[in-house]
Structure 1
């Protein structure tokens, strides 16, 4: 079938017009064994997408971009018995195989076959289902390729949701919410009364604020350079805010929390901000990083503090989540009004405006833009 997709043909950090990202008509091959065809409803523009566009994260090109989305099942392939046509779904951007050592111990974000498929630009099945007008096969992005009106994905990439849930808001749960809330609950292990600081208030950081409030954390300190993001953090549950443009964030956090909070989350993707987050973490505390800095960047910290202060630095990929377990739980919190993540949506744009959306994200003007298909 024919569909429309945003195809990334070249990645250049100096190209602020994003000329390598083009909306094209492509051919979508039917789903194979273990695969599902989905009509996409909404797709979120995430910094991880921008990182591929500017070359920070290397993926095989050309590829159909996008990894956070919601949609409706339109067709199922052979050996798919857990989904039906008409099901509403969101996506997991690491397709878990369910059999490798990481999957069987409950850490599917580290799934070896799933991450290998993502790196190679294939579905978990090893196939590629997009073909351009010249007959060239296109790679998939994280097994999803959400910036398309239709897509084919492995059944392992899909999470069924209730049809009563807004597909617009549900799209956020594929990355921003599962990563931010998961970093709070799964990676940092925050419980009622735990103090927490979040550095960086994009979609993931603000989701972490909402997740911390739902967990009963206190205090909840939000750090960013943009005033309106700090204002939104207060609406979502932050008890204190620090403007890193005008204040020393480490000194401010330590003053507000009597020496640092037991949990600190960094969601910027900067080794400099990660060092600040570590310095703002209390003795005996845990610093969680969800940002994706350039692979060549190095973190420098006082090595002795790891032992002498029993400190922990932990990475959190996909919120250390089990998506088919956690996404429904987080959606229940959303339905109960405990995760008002609909407030994260700063704009809804058409697919044809994808380059404008990337520019808005790169400038810091946008929090979470959704593409309406």
Structure 2
């Protein structure tokens, strides 16, 4: 079938809307008419080739839409269902079978290879035989996408479908880090470094977890004000003082938990140094391969601290995404306050606004629910 897709052809170049052809779904795949897709930092990382992935490619990995067709082996969704598309995973390796699909042993093949794991393609252009697709097993910067049953999550029809795409990556990463990975208990303290979409999702999740001290750290006063609105009990502008000293003033002993969304080694070091005895710091920010974090060994050993890597909030998406939607419906997780909508042909404006910090979470409107 013919589709319109946003293509990145070379490193750092703008997205270009182009016509292409999309295959019908294979036996375990799902054809989704895309209603909206969030723009995530990882899309920019690949466009700018800060992480290896083949170009030209159709990106997009926070898709939400309506199921149009299913392969004959699909059992989890049906035609007409509303769905959110999330990351791809094999479902068969040890990590997947142990309940950790975010650490699938074949994560790269299912998300960054530019094709299905078997090397075949879903999207085609006769003029561009080397066009790559299947980004996060979806490539949802397009009017239609084919995804695997594994990463197609059925969602209720009584919530705005155009709002839900970011639950498939950025929002579930921040919320899952707090609720799944760190398992923050009621009455505890947490410092959250960075107040983008991931960090603010973590702030809201810390409120859900009933943490009593929630400290948001950033250099953007407007973002810090929003963090307070979303549940932060304290904020620190890291440009105006010593963050570790400020954390000590607030908590007395340091925080039980820290969560870094920036990927910046110096900030991760600060996050660890701001922990109390037996504190745990989670980290999710994508970092260039040549960057290294340096600690004095005593920063970790003497206080019994832990530094923990986190992918996708350790989520099992078919369980966690509906949980976040239920919290949203109850008014306990108002992630809609983070978003701004753009039309599909405004994709480059949306990407620029995201990179400049003008918009926390851009969402592209691509289709209509009932169209």
TM-score normalised by length of structure 2: 0.95
Q: 1:143-188 CA deviation, whole Å, 9 max, x = no partner?
A: 1212111111111111111111211221121112210110001111
Is 1:119 the counterpart of 2:122 in the alignment?
Answer: no
Q: 1:79-125 CA deviation, whole Å, 9 max, x = no partner?
A: 112211101111121x2322210011111001123432323222356
**How far is the alpha carbon of 1:74 from its aligned partner?**
0.7
Runs of 4+ aligned residues of structure 1 deviating over 6 Å after TM superposition are none
C-alpha distance in 2, partners of 1:293/1:150?
31
State whether residues 271 and 298 of structure 1, in contact with CA within 8 Å, keep that contact through their aligned partners in structure 2: yes
3-state SS of 1:181 partner: helix
C-alpha distance in 2, partners of 1:114/1:79?
22
The residue that corresponds to 1:354 in the other structure is 347
Aligned with residue 198 of structure 2, among 201, 204, 208: 204
C-alpha distance in 2, partners of 1:313/1:186?
15
State whether residues 181 and 207 of structure 1, in contact with CA within 8 Å, keep that contact through their aligned partners in structure 2: yes
The residue that corresponds to 1:7 in the other structure is 7
Once superposed, what is the RMSD of the aligned Cα atoms?
A: 1.4
Is 1:134 the counterpart of 2:130 in the alignment?
Answer: no
Any residues of structure 2 matched to 1:15-164 within 5 Å, and which? 18-19=13-14, 21-93=15-87, 95-123=88-116, 126-136=119-129, 137-164=131-158
Aligned with residue 302 of structure 2, among 300, 305, 308: 308
Aligned with residue 313 of structure 2, among 314, 319, 341: 319
Aligned with residue 274 of structure 2, among 277, 280, 296: 280
C-alpha distance in 1, partners of 2:344/2:126?
18
Name structure 2 gaps, 5 residues minimum. 367-371
3-state SS of 2:106 partner: helix
C-alpha distance in 2, partners of 1:276/1:265?
11
C-alpha distance in 2, partners of 1:153/1:73?
10
Q: 1:4-42 CA deviation, whole Å, 9 max, x = no partner?
A: 111111124xxxxx33x2221111111112111101111
State whether residues 125 and 154 of structure 1, in contact with CA within 8 Å, keep that contact through their aligned partners in structure 2: no
Any residues of structure 2 matched to 1:189-338 within 5 Å, and which? 189-338=183-332
Q: 1:229-274 CA deviation, whole Å, 9 max, x = no partner?
A: 1111011100001112222222222221113211000001212221
State whether residues 180 and 319 of structure 1, in contact with CA within 8 Å, keep that contact through their aligned partners in structure 2: yes
**How far is the alpha carbon of 1:135 from its aligned partner?**
4.9
**How far is the alpha carbon of 1:333 from its aligned partner?**
1.0
3-state SS of 1:142 partner: helix
State whether residues 45 and 51 of structure 2, in contact with CA within 8 Å, keep that contact through their aligned partners in structure 1: yes
Name structure 1 gaps, 5 residues minimum. 13-17
Equivalent pairs counted in the alignment come to: 365
Q: 1:349-371 CA deviation, whole Å, 9 max, x = no partner?
A: 11211111221111121100110
